């Protein structure tokens, strides 16, 4: 269903990337009104925004004053996005300034508001900026963490605008849920994704077919609901979700160490990655050659059980969600895994017919430690993730169904 979106563009060099975000939103069928600041128009002119959006562009509240534009536009908006959100824009929004059309409109929006910051590392880390971000988040806005990468000139660090496609993905989740108050705000969640690899030699490895899509869906939906997300990705070829802190690992041992390192500060851990269960006893420094007699037998040992390690180390307040990809006796095997790993929820997938891996949708049975069962019909993986997050929110102390 087409929705009304306000796209605010502040005066930073990353303003040109907002054109890609605008294109993705309009191609999704949404009506987008672009409101740049005066500074933004020094980077990208009004004709560009008008041509791409099909709507007029102005920066002040006096043009078309008879229609009181900041009130009319804000009331119509199902979502407001500011990308890039500069340090100056964040400061003005946090203090309730209304000295141009964008900031005045932000005060009238009653739907979700999403800020995608972009600035130099020093500006992002300054106590004033961090205080402004905290203020906006406390009021229900979703403020993404900037990406790490090349900034202006030769500088590299945290402060880069996240990928426009990933900002659009977060925006779509906010529109899908239509919930102004992010219910994961103030929470830190750790999500694992992908499949680990155990190398036999420099060329070959033991692994699995996990694409990482379900774990990334958990990360995106958590970000849209206001969480701070640490995404531990194992051999995943997907763009980083906007706002996530991404930790890359290769083997099961590396996954084990990374998850336990981030566990102390986590409110929830979602183990969507598919760890390899075995590794070779010996690694060959050179490629194992094919011979007419066939290869020598490869001796295997089990890898660390990451989920069990988390289940045995977490506190009662921390929530652990694990996955069970099964080919037979799906529910029975999942229940056994839930108990053995000391998890709070297990998401059971039937993969007998090659389902789930690499697909954009999923169906599952979620079993809780208290014995309750939630059936999730086949839907987009983001929809499944949101359903599981609903269960996690109700599990935290002080929250009820």
Active site residues: 208
Query: What letter does residue 140 receive in the DSSP assignment?
Result: T
User: Which region, left, alpha or beta, applies to residue 104 given φ > 0 means left and ψ of -120 to 50 means alpha?
Assistant: alpha
From CA 117, how far away is CA 80, in angstroms rounded? 14
Which of 40, 18, 108 shows the shortest CA–CA distance to 71?
108
Identify the three-state secondary structure at position 26: helix
CB contact at 8 A, 73 and 61: no
Q: Return the SS3 of 132.
A: helix
Sequence-separated contacts (24+) of 147-150 with Cβ below 8 Å: 147/240, 147/242
Phi, psi angle pair for 388, to nearest 5°: -70, -40
d(CA 2, CA 380): 19
Strand-pair partners of 268 = 189, 319
| Contact (CB, 8 A) for 196 and 207 | yes
Instruction: Report yes or no: 57 and 46 within 8 Å, Cβ to Cβ.
Output: yes
| Helical spans, DSSP H, in 202-329 | 213-224, 252-262, 306-313
| 345 beta partners | 321, 368
C-alpha gyration radius of the chain: 23
CA distance 46 to 185: 35
Three-class DSSP labels, 97-130: CCCCHHHHHHCCCCCCEEEEECCCHHHHHCHHHH
CA 208, CA 206: separation in Å to the nearest integer? Answer: 7
37 is written with which tokens? 């600041």
Judge whether 303 and 253 are in contact, CB under 8 Å. Answer: yes
CB atoms within 10 A of CB 107: 13
């Amino acid at each position: 269903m087409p929705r009304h979106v306000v796209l605010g563009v502040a005066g930073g060099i990353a303003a040109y990337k907002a054109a890609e975000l605008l294109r993705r939103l309009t191609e999704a069928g949404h009506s987008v009104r672009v409101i740049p600041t005066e500074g933004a128009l020094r980077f990208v002119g009004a004709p560009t925004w008008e041509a791409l959006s099909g709507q007029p562009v102005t920066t002040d509240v006096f043009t078309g004053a008879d229609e009181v534009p900041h009130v009319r536009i804000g009331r119509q908006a199902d979502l407001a996005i500011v990308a890039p959100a500069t340090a100056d824009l964040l400061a003005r929004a946090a203090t309730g300034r209304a000295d141009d059309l964008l900031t005045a409109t932000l005060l009238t929006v009653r739907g979700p508001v999403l800020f995608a910051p972009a600035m130099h590392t020093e500006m992002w880390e300054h106590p004033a900026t961090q205080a402004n971000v905290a203020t906006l988040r406390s009021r229900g806005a979703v403020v993404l963490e900037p990406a790490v990468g090349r900034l202006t000139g030769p500088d590299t660090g945290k402060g880069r605008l996240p990928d426009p496609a990933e900002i659009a993905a977060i925006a779509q989740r906010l529109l899908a849920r239509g919930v102004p108050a992010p219910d994961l705000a103030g929470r830190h969640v750790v999500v694992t994704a992908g499949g680990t690899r155990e190398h036999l030699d420099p060329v070959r490895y033991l692994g699995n077919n996990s694409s990482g899509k379900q774990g990334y869906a958990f990360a995106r939906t958590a970000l849209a609901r206001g969480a701070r997300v640490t995404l531990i990705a194992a051999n995943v070829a997907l763009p980083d979700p906007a706002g996530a802190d991404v930790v890359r690992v290769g083997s099961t041992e590396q996954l084990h160490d990374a998850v336990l390192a981030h566990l102390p500060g986590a409110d929830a851990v979602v183990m969507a990655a598919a760890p390899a269960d075995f590794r070779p006893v010996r690694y060959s420094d050179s490629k194992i050659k094919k011979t007419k007699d066939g290869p020598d037998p490869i001796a295997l040992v089990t890898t660390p059980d990451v989920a069990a390690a988390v289940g045995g180390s977490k506190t009662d307040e921390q929530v652990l969600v694990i996955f069970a990809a099964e080919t037979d006796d799906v529910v029975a095997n999942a229940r056994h895994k839930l108990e053995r790993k000391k998890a709070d929820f297990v998401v059971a997938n039937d993969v007998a017919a090659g389902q789930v891996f690499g697909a954009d949708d999923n169906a599952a049975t979620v079993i809780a430690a208290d014995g309750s069962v939630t059936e999730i019909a086949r839907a987009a993986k983001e929809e499944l993730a949101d359903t599981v997050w609903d269960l996690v929110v109700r599990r935290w102390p002080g929250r009820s169904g």
